[in-house]
Amino acid sequence: MSVKTILIEPNKLLRQVSKSVDKVGDEERALMDDMLDTMYDAPGIGLAAIQIGVPKRIIVIDISRDENEKKPMYFVNPLIKNKNEEKIKYEEGCLSVPDQFAEIERPNACEIEYLDYNGKKQILKADGLLATCIQHEMDHLEGILFIDYLSKLKKSIIIKKLSKIKVNREIF
């Protein structure tokens, strides 16, 4: 297990559509272990494989935020089967969009079908923070970032700020 570098917007890879996983094997499990390490290290509550540069439809989530009682969740090829009409707003952030936050509205509950860490098919009904987090991470699989839901002006301000961070990082 190791901590990987998280890609930061603007980065073309983050805009790529991730590919379905044929089979959950050792390679995928090693990837999920690395993703979890990277997410805990950041720290964050969710991470998609593309955020460490791997275009596979895999996400990891742990919304427990508890050092002593970690509750990792693994989703391979997640599909939303149902979503609630009712919406909920959360102030969202993203490990690929550092230090930027915005209120985003999403369905407050959804039902997801996916393969787990062992490649077993599962169905999960999620609501509240977990539902929001799953939808945020699933957007990454389509190359979508939460800032894409903001107005053009707001989005361009954030991207400008992030570009500056990148330049500074390259100087050092």
Site residues (CB under 5 A) for Zn ion? 94
Nearer CB in complex with Zn ion: 102/119 = 102
Residue 96 C-beta: closest distance to Zn ion, Å: 5
Enumerate the β-bridge partners of residue 89: 105
Select the residue whose beta carbon is closest to Zn ion and give its number.
94
Q: Is the peptide bond before 72 cis (omega within 30 degrees of 0)?
A: no
Nearer CB in complex with Zn ion: 8/94 = 94
Cα–Cα–Cα angle for 9, 107, 17, nearest 5°?
35
Residue 25 C-beta: closest distance to Zn ion, Å: 26
Residue 68 C-beta: closest distance to Zn ion, Å: 25
Residue 95 C-beta: closest distance to Zn ion, Å: 6
Nearer CB in complex with Zn ion: 39/94 = 94
Nearer CB in complex with Zn ion: 24/94 = 94
CB-based contacts of 160-164 (< 8 A; 24+ apart in sequence): 161/100, 162/8, 162/9, 162/10, 162/97, 162/98, 162/100, 163/10
Note whether 20 and 55 are within 8 A (CB).
no
Note whether 12 and 35 are within 8 A (CB).
no
Q: Is 171 helix (H, G, I), strand (E, B) or coil?
A: helix
Catalytic residue among 92, 137, 142, 170: 137
Phi, psi of 109 (to 5 degrees): -150, 150
The verdict on whether 137 is a catalytic residue reads: yes
Q: Which residues are catalytic?
A: 137
